[in-house]
Amino acid sequence: MAVMITDLCINCDTCIDECPATAIVSADESPIEGAEFTYVKPEKCIECVDSTVPKCSDVCPTEGAIVWDMPYTAEFNDYYLSRNQDGIYNIRVHKKQGIFSPDKKPKPFRESISLQERENHVDVAV
């Protein structure tokens, strides 16, 4: 998967400690150069599949700050590599294993969320 944090984020950092996958980092620690807001690493996010709701969104005070993105699976490999190239993401590159792309390191995702909701980056809290 993934959920994605938008520029509506107010950098309160409340979501960071809630994430069971340590997928969220503050703007200061974001792998995106010059980042101005909190960042979710798509190669780590598991969409909180074992919980009732995504924990980051559950504590977020800002409407529209955390939205759905596509499943982090092989089917969306090109999508994520393209967004990586565009600087929206900065997916981890391992010295020996190379980039942790969706085809190599797929993550669990919520099947209950439609592709349309994901394409439209609907607010996770809705």
Residue numbers at the binding site for ligand SF4 (CB under 6 A): 3, 5, 9-15, 18-21, 23-24, 38, 40, 45-48, 54-56, 59-60, 62, 65-66
Copy the structure tokens of residue 125.
């809290």
The residues facing 68 across adjacent strands are 3
> 31 or 95, CB closer to ligand SF4?
31
Q: How far is C-alpha 104 from the chain's CA centre?
A: 17
> Quick one: 98 or 114, whose CB is closer to ligand SF4?
114
Burial of 58 (0-12, 13-18, 19+ CB in 10 A): middle
Shortest distance in whole angstroms from residue 116 CB to ligand SF4 = 19
